[in-house]
Structure 1
Amino acid sequence: MAEALHFLQINGSELLYKTWEHFYISFIALFLGIIAAVPLGVLLTRMKRGAGAVIAVVNVIQTLPSLAILAFFIPLLGVGKVPAIAALFFYSVLPILRNTYTGIKSVNGNLLESGKGIGMTAWEQIRLVELPLSVPVIMAGIRTSAIYLIGWATLASFIGGGGLGDYIFIGLNLYQPEYIIAGAVPVTLLAMITDAVLSRTERKVTPNGLKGLKEVS
């Protein structure tokens, strides 16, 4: 306990900065992933062929080692936060894309026909029917992606991206457990807080009718 307090006295401000840095890198990658994956998931539901192939390609990208993705971006973007965010963006896409596609495909076809019957355009059906009804499934993908990114963002320190991974790798290289704990514990807390916030957001954006169905089930 005394050692932990001593560490915080010396490195407290730096720890706060690295925690913010870690969150910033993860959040930007997640935001870019949402912007790319949700529209792409909607587009895939409109494709009669090729949707499975696109998801399979994204699946393959997801299986590539994190360090390999980071190394791939170094010749293109150099070192620092930009290549780290770009690499994390690739990892953010699959859960959101897959859940968007699954959620929209599971919307009751009778509702879509009703929408057409009252004169809804394709865009109005997406905006007013499909996306609202798919919110719980899409948000589940976003939550999964967010938790993954917060964990994977520790590897950003390998290419000068900063974040809490700096402490973890300093501790591993110098055999100093206090640095490992100082990096690992905030990462865990950050993941838990992010999941709780996104869970609350999911409840707020889910239509009231769907909330009732979830409670009954």
Structure 2
Amino acid sequence: MQTLIQTFIERRGDLLTALWQHLGISLAALVIAMVIAIPLAIWAVRRPKLAEGLLQLTSVLQTIPSLALLGLLIPLVGIGTVPAVIALVIYALLPIFQNTYLGIDEIDDSIEEAADAFGMSRMRKLFKVELPIAMPQIIAGIRTAVVLIIGTATLAALIGAGGLGTFIMLGIDRNNTSLLLIGAISSALLAIVLSALIRWFQTAKPKRALTVFGVIVALLAGGGAYSVYANRTETITIAGKLGSEPEILINMYKQLIEANDSHVKVTLKPNFGKTTFLFSALKHDQIDIYPEFTGSVLETLVSGSHAKNLTANQTYQLAKKRLASQDEMTLLKPMAYNNTYALAVTKKFKRQHHLKTISDLNQVESILKPGMTLEFIDRDDGLKGLKKAYGLDITAKSMEPALRYEAISKGRINLVDAYSTDSELRQYNLAILKDDKHFFPTYQGAPLMKQSFAKKHPKVVKALNKLAGRISETDMQEMNYEVNVKNESAATVAHHYLVKHGLLKGGN
């Protein structure tokens, strides 16, 4: 409890920002869903066959997995708030449409006949009879949608829209229960408060309800207007994948760029979920720079075959050439360390079974219980290709990156995929098995950007090239350890490294 309180105090500023982002996304999605679903349901009441089709459509839309929907939206509308709001609107349509339709459709026929006998017009009957009777059921649908929206909105953090999901993702990635609880509890409380507020709107006097609603809208609009005003100068947006290492790197980028050009403001979007999300965002000018790995470029982002066992420089040169020709992008000079894939076991398991290399796993194949990330399982330079190269016949459980380390430390699994700079290797006393067949490609990190951006911003390129050939694997693992285990901020760790190695003055 003490750790939770301390984390809350340290992160209260970040929590307030995330809460405001979450609230803005959620309310925008709710209002849009209501504007679409309620009139559509009213119109469909007298068209039963069409109404059934619309109910089926909204039901099908709600079954689309959140990540899949976000992935489909990114190429169309980019990253950030817009795809997040669209996805949430899609999920909110069913409860609002269904409850509005049923609330009106199930009104007793005698009441409808009485309204007609009084000579009421269709619109007057709707507003004076049907909607008041159906209102409790409509409100119930809206409250259901609110809870659904706020829970699903946590995934907005994966595409740079912020919100309380940032705390949850960081908590999972860094195995930090306090961050996870803060995000989850805040999200639950926000859902309860908004649900209660909607119920209050139902019973409050119209003038008072409209006043409160107007204040909320004004506050959200004011926040958005201030954000536009504050960012009226040129802003460079740098994003990073999920994890401490990308966050450390993008903070280095930010500090080097701003130290080299006082007229530039850098905005960071850390903790994106997938490589393809970031690459798509860069293509569509939603971000300007992100750290990518040479091996990932060749294996995932560009087309064309290549020879195995390329040297580090050959891998970089080929990745840079194909990015330039296929996507008009440039990969700057890479850093020194090779954050390659690896297979790891506990040091105890390694000693017990006399393991040294990946080839040695063939001797203990029958007792292996692998737990690996879904991305590694599905990649040709991951488990797919590894099984062919080493003749392994194993099936791995797909696990969230941080959870696989916790699982191996508790003995639930005994083999994991890893990155050579992961702090968890040190934290959980794990040993990497030697890649004796040199299967894994070289993965050196470097800033990726469009060629047009690089030409327009030579000072940015010059600043980022200061990291070329810098940072060893030991350096990176130690920095990851400081963030993940010692709970230091990525910005602080990045700053210490830059100052220590003379890349930045201590006062900056």
Residue 55 (structure 2) aligns with: 55
1:64 paired to 2:77? no
Work out the CA distance in 1 between the residues paired with 2:204 and 2:178: 39
Residue 144 (structure 1) aligns with: 144
Work out the CA distance in 1 between the residues paired with 2:59 and 2:156: 22
Greater displacement, 78-87 / 18-27: 18-27
Gaps of 5+ in 2: 206-508
Work out the CA distance in 1 between the residues paired with 2:98 and 2:134: 12
- Secondary structure of 1:116's counterpart equals helix
| Matches for 1:50-199 after TM superposition, within 5 Å | 50-199=50-199
**Shift in Å, 1:139:** 0.4
Work out the CA distance in 2 between the residues paired with 1:48 and 1:172: 46
1:202 paired to 2:202? yes
Work out the CA distance in 1 between the residues paired with 2:85 and 2:14: 21
Residue 38 (structure 2) aligns with: 38
Work out the CA distance in 2 between the residues paired with 1:188 and 1:120: 44
1:130-153 CA-to-partner distances (Å, cap 9, x unmatched) read 111100010000000100111000
Residue 23 (structure 2) aligns with: 23
Letter of the aligned partner of 1:173 in structure 2?
Answer: D
Work out the CA distance in 1 between the residues paired with 2:164 and 2:147: 15
Work out the CA distance in 2 between the residues paired with 1:160 and 1:48: 41
- Secondary structure of 1:42's counterpart equals helix
Letter of the aligned partner of 1:38 in structure 2?
Answer: I
1:178-214 CA-to-partner distances (Å, cap 9, x unmatched) read 2111211101111111222222233448xxxxxxxxx
Work out the CA distance in 2 between the residues paired with 1:36 and 1:106: 21
Work out the CA distance in 2 between the residues paired with 1:169 and 1:66: 15
**Shift in Å, 1:28:** 0.8
Work out the CA distance in 1 between the residues paired with 2:181 and 2:161: 19
**Which of structures 1 and 2 has the larger relative contact order (alpha carbons within 8 angstroms, sep 6+)?**
1
**Shift in Å, 1:6:** 2.3
Residue 2 (structure 1) aligns with: 2
* CA 11–50 in structure 1, closer or farther in 2 if over 3 Å, else same: same
1:152-177 CA-to-partner distances (Å, cap 9, x unmatched) read 00011111111000111011112111
Work out the CA distance in 2 between the residues paired with 1:9 and 1:43: 50
Greater displacement, 151-160 / 44-53: 44-53
Letter of the aligned partner of 2:125 in structure 1?
Answer: Q
Which structure: greater strand fraction?
2
Work out the CA distance in 2 between the residues paired with 1:49 and 1:2: 58
For the aligned residue pairs, the C-alpha RMSD in angstroms reads 1.4
Work out the CA distance in 1 between the residues paired with 2:68 and 2:48: 34
Letter of the aligned partner of 1:117 in structure 2?
Answer: A
**Shift in Å, 1:48:** 4.2
Work out the CA distance in 2 between the residues paired with 1:2 and 1:92: 38
What is the aligned length? Answer: 205
Letter of the aligned partner of 1:114 in structure 2?
Answer: A
Larger-gyration structure (1/2): 2
Residue 212 (structure 1) aligns with: none
Greater displacement, 38-47 / 169-178: 169-178
Greater displacement, 139-148 / 48-57: 48-57
- Secondary structure of 2:49's counterpart equals coil
Work out the CA distance in 2 between the residues paired with 1:135 and 1:36: 17
- Secondary structure of 1:97's counterpart equals helix
- Secondary structure of 1:50's counterpart equals helix
Letter of the aligned partner of 2:78 in structure 1?
Answer: G
Which structure: greater helix fraction?
1
**Shift in Å, 1:102:** 0.3
Gaps of 5+ in 1: 206-217
1:98-138 CA-to-partner distances (Å, cap 9, x unmatched) read 00000001112222222222221111111111111100010
TM-score by length of 2: 0.39
